[in-house]
Structure 1
Amino acid sequence: MTVVWVEVDDGVRLRTWQSGPAEVAGAGRPPVVLVHGGPGLPDYLEPVSALIDDLTRVYRYDQRGTGGSGWSGRHTVARHVRDLENLMDAWGHDRMILVGHSYGTDLVSFFALAHPERVAGVVYLCGPFVGPWREPTRVAERARRSPAQQERLDRLEALASRSDDEEVEYLALSWFTDHADQDNAWTWALASVRAMRPINWVMNAQLNADKRVDPLEHAIDRLCAVLPSGSAIIGGAGDPRPAALLRSLGAELGCAVTIIPGAGHHPWLERPGEFRAALRSAVGQQVHPVD
């Protein structure tokens, strides 16, 4: 795996990774770019990359303001779409398969709406969620926390600022409910906290606010018109976010939908075999499309 720094059009340097066969365009195989979630987190999709980088070239990157990609300006969806366009230019690819996870599925969707000619395929992982998904998600998350855990989380969330230890506790209490396997959920959540801190909370707030200006749910008809055939959605039946909404979205978009039993919001952790098979099938069909 190779780390490559890419300078985009406003001078910001983004940290990127490349793996898999170097020559794919001449062989007619579109490469993949993995778009991580958040917003405000660094890339965490290396385990996903390892599942498919024998199929084609795979790229990952830290979104600006996260991980190795520093920045302190105002975050907008349009700026992040432009970053991905700049990266594709720097990598030398006119068209790529976009694989997004969680919030990354939103960013992939906004990119496809802005630049459909550059999208060879789309695979959505655990998203995008449109419509009335937040309240049932909160209900499911609360059901996985004890009353004491929920009370502690509420207290930590209400603090004007948190110490380092409090931030670790706050994130772990927030994230362990993402996992269907509650025996291992706390261990996985703590591992994520260690790997992803510090969270860019300013970026999180600004991008979430910008998404509400022109919500994705208002663009589903347009998205349906531009998504390439063979696009797919993969989710987890044990994700606190409603899998039923992914099924209904898939029907609207004409996407194949795979919901993995016993998997949560990070299905490669909980059901690695089933997830690997679903991902390789979805990516493989778009790397080698059947006319």
Structure 2
Amino acid sequence: MRGGARAANLPAMTLVYDEAGTGAPVLLLHSSVCDRRMWDDQVPALVAAGFRTIRCDLRAFGDTPVSREPYRNIDDVRDLLDALGLDRLSVVGSSYGGGVALEFAATWPQRVDSLLLLCPAVPGIEPDPTQRAFGAREDELIEAGDVAGAVVLNVDTWLGPDADEATRQRVATMQRRSFDVQLAAGDEMVNPTTPDIDLTRITARTLAVSGGHDLAGFRTGAAEAARLIPDAQHRELSWAGHFPNLERPAETNDLIQEFLAGTGS
């Protein structure tokens, strides 16, 4: 990486990011269970394939602090890309990051060439009963002060059967970091404002991926995104949970590279 982690000075905020490689630019946006480290297995592969690869920690995740003022994630992403001199690029988003990617591509369609969504959080898709039960249980554990229990709950819920123990520990480490950062801020932390968007405005070549072992709401969301975005495609990975890039890195790397190169579905 070019000097390791950097900080992009944005209005009222600093996003921490990494940049590596040269060539066609691609931005990686992380899940809310993880941070930019979730792409550790993807960055070297993308660089070797000839891509300039950028990944950042959104506010309240990883090394980027929480916000105490109103903000939108898409404005942070836009400002980061402006600071890097990138007018147009490809975007890969996982879960929460997939939702941010959709918001960005619908708000500024001229800036996104290709859009790859891994089990995205799609605006307008209501949580399924299992997801609501998960949220309620997570709240109970946090309120009881059992942060470790909440971490285990997230690992058990979101990783599919192909995740090994090392992968489970990686996710646990990232999730614990997010909890620690966010809980330390308490009531001072402000959550992002999400814009109203029209997915039919997206012009990027789009592939929405779902996991056969993921929660129903996310599987529905990926299919619905592919239905609404013009000419988008949907692909379900029968083996995957919520994080295919963590569960089968090599296979997901091939999928990402083929799609970005225009040779995949």
Larger mean Cα displacement after TM superposition, 87-96 or 245-254: 245-254
In structure 2, the residue matched to 1:251 is 227
Q: Given residue 234 of structure 1, which amino acid in structure 2 is its aligned partner?
A: V
Partner of 1:237: 212
Letter in 2 for 1:66: F
Greater strand share, structure number: 2
Shift of 1:264: 0.5
Give 1:57's aligned residue.
Answer: 52
Most deviating of 98-107 and 270-279: 270-279
* Counterpart check, 1:81 vs 2:74: yes
CA distance in 1, matches of 2:190, 2:173: 24
Letter in 1 for 2:9: V
| Distance (whole Å) between structure 2 residues aligned to residue 157 and residue 238 of structure 1 | 26
**Separation in 2, partners of 1:191, 1:46:** 10
- Which runs of no fewer than 5 residues in structure 1 stay unpaired? 143-149
Q: Which residue of 2 aligns with 1:15?
A: 16
List aligned pairs for 1:165-176, cutoff 5 A.
Answer: 166-176=146-156
Which of 46, 50, 55 is matched with 2:40 structurally? 46
Asked if the contact 1:34/1:59 (under 8 Å) is kept, the reply is yes
Amino acid at match of 2:150: Y
Deviations 1:173-219 (A, max 9, x none): 2331212308x57764443122343322569x8437x33xx55xxx3
Distance 1:13 1:278, change over 3 A: same
3-state DSSP of counterpart to 1:259: strand
Partner of 2:30: 36
Preserved CA contact (<8 Å) 1:101 1:126:
yes
Task: Give the aligned partner of residue 147 of structure 1.
Answer: none
Partner of 2:87: 94
C-alpha deviation, 1:265, in angstroms? 0.6
Mean CA deviation greater in 168-177 or 97-106: 168-177
For the residues of structure 2 that align with 1:118 and 1:266, how far apart are their CA atoms? 26
Preserved CA contact (<8 Å) 2:102 2:199: yes
Q: 1:122 to 1:178 in 2, by over 3 A?
A: same
What is aligned with 2:61? 66
In 2, Cα distance between the equivalents of 1:155 and 1:89? 41
**Counterparts of residues 116-265 of structure 1 (less than 5 Å):** 116-138=109-131, 155-159=140-144, 162=145, 166-181=146-161, 184=163, 188-199=167-178, 200=182, 206-207=190-191, 210-211=193-194, 214=195, 219=197, 222-228=198-204, 230-242=205-217, 243-253=219-229, 254-265=231-242
Deviation of 1:168 (Å): 1.8
Q: Deviations over 1:225-284 (max 9, x none)?
A: 2332x2111221111244244223312213121211111011123333432232122111
CA 1:5 to 1:273, structure 2 compared with 1: closer, same or farther past 3 Å?
closer
Identify which range, 80-89 or 124-133, moves more after superposition: 124-133
What is the distance in 1 between the residues matched to 2:59 and 2:82? 17
Within 2, Cα distance between the matches of 1:207 and 1:74?
9
**CA-to-aligned-CA distance 1:54-94 (integer Å, 9 cap, x gap):** 231100111233322234423532xx222211211221211
After TM superposition, give the deviation of residue 47 of structure 1 in Å.
1.9
How many angstroms apart in 1 are the aligned matches of 2:240 and 2:169?
18
Q: 1:248 to 1:12 in 2, by over 3 A?
A: closer
Change (3 A) 1:225 1:11: closer
Whole-Å Cα distance in 2 between the matches of residues 138 and 226 of structure 1?
Answer: 27
| Post-superposition offset of 1:102 | 0.5
Percent identity between matched residues is 21
What is residue 271 of structure 1 aligned with on the other side?
A: 248
Alpha-carbon contact 1:262-1:270 (below 8 Å) kept: no
Q: TM-score, normalised by structure 2?
A: 0.80
Residue type matched to 1:177 in 2? T
Q: Report how many residues are paired.
A: 253
